[in-house]
Amino acid sequence: MKALKIHGAMDLRIEDFGLEELTPNQVEISVAMGGICGTDLHYYKHGGFGQIKLKEPMVLGHEVSGYISKLGSNVTDLTVGQLVSVSPSRPCNNCEFCLEGSQNHCFNMKFYGSAMPFPHIQGAFRETLIAEDYQCIPADGLSAGEAAMAEPLAVCLHAINQAGNLFGKKILITGSGPIGTLSVLSLRRAGAEEIVVTDISDNALSFSNAVGADKIINTMKNYDELEQFQIGKGVFDVAIECSGSASGINDAIKSLKPKGTLIQLGLGGDILMPLVAVTTKELNIKGSFRFHSEFQSAVKMMQKKLIDVSPLITHKIPFNNAKKGFNIAMDEKENSMKVHLVF
């Protein structure tokens, strides 16, 4: 079978990849759709992000859906031919963090397409995938593209869980990529009163506007519009930082009111932070990393039509032309939001 491997910055190759033996609690999946994530793009553009660097070739991809082609002998709650959203999260369920219910912090996590450990954890951009049965969430009623959006939606749901009760709150989102835009949809379901989104791309902001943001601000062109929210001591109850940039973090801190909460989602490497403002405003800062139980919730919310992710899927590129898909995802002129590879 074929898989998509990253060998280094801008060195992406479709290569042969061996298929593991199917064990009793596993299923074989014919991958249908795979979403290109921001971390995939970091590996493609830079060979890693922050302190995390490729040390060996690695199969990319962790946002996938597919159709079950074979069942292990112990699997009884799934069927051949069924569409499933595949969670990339494979915690050990034995370490101290797993046992206390924090599986996303598992010491021995096997998260698809991650260069954090070495040897690296190979990803899911493969024609055929062997997965544990618990990773496979039935996606009946969804398209393969929608089913592949469960992973980024779960990331947003986990972040919102970190923020606590958001009913009637004023929220700032810095960064209007797929995570920022999905956060708009999720925050509306959580009861947010006002949602303002910032970015430096008019195209990215147009998607947040389309899915229900109250106000969008291009901080490259119209920073004064954001400054109106920074008068006095700020006005936002919560900021969800999705850009991973120094400017995004600084804007969020300036715009939060005293005792507000910053949820840091974006991963852009270590960045200096204005700690004086954090201290004097008594701000709460929380990181938000991956997800666990939220993955199933994401699928169910889409199935119940509580969240419609389909407007965010802008491109579907054949897997055998994967490099084109990655280049589209990086090119502002392409007006892309979420680019999917079609297997």
The three-state DSSP-derived secondary structure of the chain is CEEEEEEECCEEEEEECCCCCCCCCEEEEEEEEEECCHHHHHHHHHCEECCEECCCCEECCCEEEEEEEEECCCCCCCCCCCEEEECCCCCCCCCHHHHCCCHHHCCCCCCCCECCCCCCECCCCECEEEEEHHHEEECCCCCHHHHCCHHHHHHHHHHHHHHCCCCCCEEEEECCCHHHHHHHHHHHHCCCCEEEEEECCHHHHHHHHHCCCCEEEECCCCHHHHHCCCCCCCCEEEEEECCCCHHHHHHHHHHEEEEEEEEECCCCCCCCCCHHHHHHCCCEEEECCCCCCHHHHHHHHHHCCCCCCHHHEEEEEEHHHHHHHHHHHHCHHHCCCEEEEEC
Q: 54, 158 in Cβ contact below 8 A?
A: no
Quote the tokens at residue 96. 């101290």
Q: Same domain for 174 and 92?
A: no
Residue 159 carries which side chain, given as an amino acid letter? A
Under the banding of pLDDT at 50, 70 and 90, the label for residue 61 is very high
Best CA proximity match to 256, nearest among 169, 188, 178? 169
pLDDT of 269 higher than 80: no
Would you state the pLDDT for residue 336?
Answer: 94
Cα distances (Å, whole numbers) of residue 241 to 52, 177, 198, 314, 319: 20, 11, 10, 23, 31
pLDDT in tens, 22-44: 999 999 999 999 999 999 999 99
> Is residue 67 assigned to a domain?
yes
Distance between CA atoms of 212 and 196, rounded to whole angstroms? 10
Quote the tokens at residue 300. 């169910």
> Is residue 296 assigned to a domain?
no
Q: Same domain for 318 and 233?
A: no
Q: Same domain for 9 and 30?
A: yes
**How high is the mean pLDDT of the chain?**
95
Under the banding of pLDDT at 50, 70 and 90, the label for residue 49 is confident
**CA angle 26–27–28, rounded 5-degree value:** 135
Phi, psi torsion values for 83, nearest 5 degrees:
-80, 130
Would you state the pLDDT for residue 334?
Answer: 83
Would you state the pLDDT for residue 270?
Answer: 75
Would you state the pLDDT for residue 90?
Answer: 95
Would you state the pLDDT for residue 213?
Answer: 98
Cα distances (Å, whole numbers) of residue 228 to 231, 251, 254, 255, 262: 6, 12, 11, 9, 19
Measured from the Cβ of residue 39, the count of other Cβ atoms closer than 10 Å reads: 18
Q: What percent of the chain has pLDDT over 70?
A: 100
Q: Same domain for 71 and 203?
A: no
The neighbouring-strand residues paired with 90 are none
Q: Same domain for 180 and 226?
A: yes
Measured from the Cβ of residue 299, the count of other Cβ atoms closer than 10 Å reads: 26
State the total domains in the chain.
Answer: 2
Query: Average pLDDT in the 67-77 region?
Result: 97
> Is residue 172 assigned to a domain?
yes
pLDDT of 172 higher than 90: yes
Q: Which CATH number does the domain housing residue 235 bear?
A: 3.40.50.720
> Is residue 301 assigned to a domain?
no
pLDDT in tens, 224-253: 999 999 999 999 999 999 998 999 999 999
Quote the tokens at residue 141. 């009623």
Range of the domain at 103: 2-149+309-342
pLDDT in tens, 285-333: 999 999 989 999 999 999 999 999 999 999 999 999 999 999 999 987 7
Would you state the pLDDT for residue 50?
Answer: 77
> Is residue 273 assigned to a domain?
yes
Residue 92 carries which side chain, given as an amino acid letter? C
Would you state the pLDDT for residue 113?
Answer: 95
Would you state the pLDDT for residue 332?
Answer: 73
> Is residue 293 assigned to a domain?
no
Would you state the pLDDT for residue 295?
Answer: 97
pLDDT in tens, 249-266: 999 999 999 999 999 998
Q: Which CATH number does the domain housing residue 57 bear?
A: 3.90.180.10
pTM: 0.94
C-alpha of 298 from chain center: 12
> Is residue 25 assigned to a domain?
yes
Under the banding of pLDDT at 50, 70 and 90, the label for residue 208 is very high
User: Residue for token digits 């209007």?
Assistant: 176
Q: Same domain for 139 and 212?
A: no
Query: Average pLDDT in the 270-277 region?
Result: 84
Q: Same domain for 131 and 200?
A: no
Q: Same domain for 130 and 171?
A: no
Best CA proximity match to 252, nearest among 278, 282, 287? 278
Residue 271 carries which side chain, given as an amino acid letter? I
Q: Same domain for 10 and 129?
A: yes
Query: Average pLDDT in the 40-69 region?
Result: 94
pLDDT in tens, 78-128: 999 999 999 999 999 999 999 999 999 999 999 999 999 999 999 999 999
Q: Same domain for 214 and 337?
A: no
> Is residue 105 assigned to a domain?
yes
pLDDT of 271 higher than 90: no
Distance between CA atoms of 261 and 284, rounded to whole angstroms? 5
First to last CA, the chain: 12
Q: Same domain for 163 and 267?
A: yes
Q: Same domain for 106 and 158?
A: no
